[in-house]
Structure 1
């Protein structure tokens, strides 16, 4: 799973996701990719599950780029613990995404195979997505 090597603080505040993605909103490395249509928080487990689904479908041919990284921590308290007594312990990492952000890109396989692989990957994600192609293809 993807996790940061080290962070400045163990716990962070949630923050807000507003507006459209201004960076990372074009297909830059591959020929075809997945773009988000809504705000969301993709956990490291979701990102890895989508990557595995893509790689298994293209049988490790071609090249895949992951354009997001889960660097925000989320916390949780143990089950059956009373409220109060501070914030819970770190439980995992997530990547905040805005609408228009390209998540994955593929190059080096046929367009039909890449499209099917991206559809399988999109089923693993908790945000609505659309398949986009690089301009000029």
Structure 2
């Protein structure tokens, strides 16, 4: 089962890198979202994929059972989901604002485009 998930992680990373090298910002955003999911799946795979023994310490014992899944990657995934979602939302708002100002989502055109609403000059006192 781990081999299947390892292959899936590799495909996710390849697709994410391909999308992140695009000239369109929306594709870059999708690549970042897929990269976050690839990292989460990688962490999940490293914690052993077992359905038989949950990562709970039985009563009267001080350690996990021998075949139990590792709970640390599962806790890291919860944190990584929150961080990747907030990062994606920040980039989405940043992209939307850049599209409003520049009128394009092509990175080559963004370099030479002038803002539709130029900034106001500073007020002197």
Same-fold call, TM > 0.5?
no
- TM-score band by shorter chain is under 0.3
The structure richer in helix per residue is: 2
Q: Which has the larger radius of gyration?
A: 2
Higher relative contact order (CA 8 A, sep 6+): 1
The structure richer in strand per residue is: 1
The TM-score, its normalising length taken from structure 2, stands at 0.23
